[in-house]
Amino acid sequence: MATAVDLYPSRGASEVMTPRQDPVLWGDPAGLESFERDGFLVQPELLADHEVDVYRRELDRLVADPAVRADDRSVVEPGSGAVRSVFEVHRMSEVFAGLVRDERVVGLARRILGSDVYVHQSRINVKPGFGASGFYWHSDFETWHAEDGLPRMRTVSVSIALTENHDTNGGLMIMPGSHRTFLGCEGATPKDNYKRSLQMQDAGTPSDEALTKLADAHGIRLFTGRAGSATWFDCNCMHGSGDNITPFPRSNVFIVFNSVENEAREPFAAPVRRPEFIGARDFTPVR
Ligand code: 6CS
Ligand code: FE
* Domains observed in the chain: 46-124+131-159+183-245+266-287 (2.60.120.620)
Pocket test for ligand 1, best of 197, 273, 274 (most atoms within 8 A of CB): 197
Q: For residues 234 and 71, what is the distance between their CA atoms, to the nearest angstrom? A: 29
Number of the ligand closest to the Cα of 237 = 2
Listed residue (10, 255, 228) closest to 121, CA to CA:
255
pLDDT of residue 134: 87
Q: Does residue 190 surpass a pLDDT of 90? A: no
Question: Binning pLDDT at 50, 70 and 90, where does residue 3 land?
Answer: low
CB-ligand 1 contact for 140 (6 Å cutoff): yes
Q: How far apart are the first and last CA of the chain?
A: 30
> Quick one: which of 160, 126, 180, 169 has its CA closest to 231?
160
Nearest CA to ligand 1 atom 9: 140
Please work out whether the CB of residue 142 comes within 6 Å of at least one atom of ligand 1: no
Return the axis-axis angle of helices 103-113 and 94-101, rounded to nearest 10°.
50
Q: What share of the chain in percent tops pLDDT 90? A: 85
Of ligand 1's listed atoms, the one at least distance from the Cα of 197 is 1
Q: Residue 164: what pLDDT?
A: 96
Q: Which residues contact 260 (CB under 8 A, 6 or more apart)?
A: 115, 116, 117, 118, 283, 285
Residues 6 or more apart whose CB falls under 8 angstroms from that of 75 comprise 83, 84, 85, 86, 87, 198, 199
> Band of the pLDDT at 161, cuts 50, 70, 90?
very high
* Res 124 pLDDT > 70: yes
Residues around ion ligand 2, judged by CB within 5 A, are 140
pLDDT at 2: 52
Among 80-84, 118-122, 132-136, 223-227, the minimum mean pLDDT is found in 80-84
CA–centroid distance, residue 8 to ligand 1 (Å): 18
Least confident among 46-50, 125-129, 217-221, 281-285: 125-129
Ligand 1 atom 5, closest CA: 198
Q: What whole-number distance in Å separates Cα of residue 273 and Cα of residue 256?
A: 18
Tell me the mean pLDDT in the region 139-145: 98
| Greater pLDDT, 200 or 207 | 207
pTM: 0.96
Residue 212 pLDDT exceeds 90? yes
Return mean pLDDT, the chain. Answer: 94
Rounded to the nearest 5 degrees, what angle is found at the Cα of 31, between the Cα atoms of 153 and 150? Answer: 10
Determine the pLDDT at residue 223.
97
> Over the stretch 176-186, which tens digit does the pLDDT of each residue have?
999 999 999 99
Winning range, highest mean pLDDT, from 82-86, 194-198, 214-218: 214-218
Q: How far is the CA of 67 from the centre of ligand 1 (A)?
A: 23
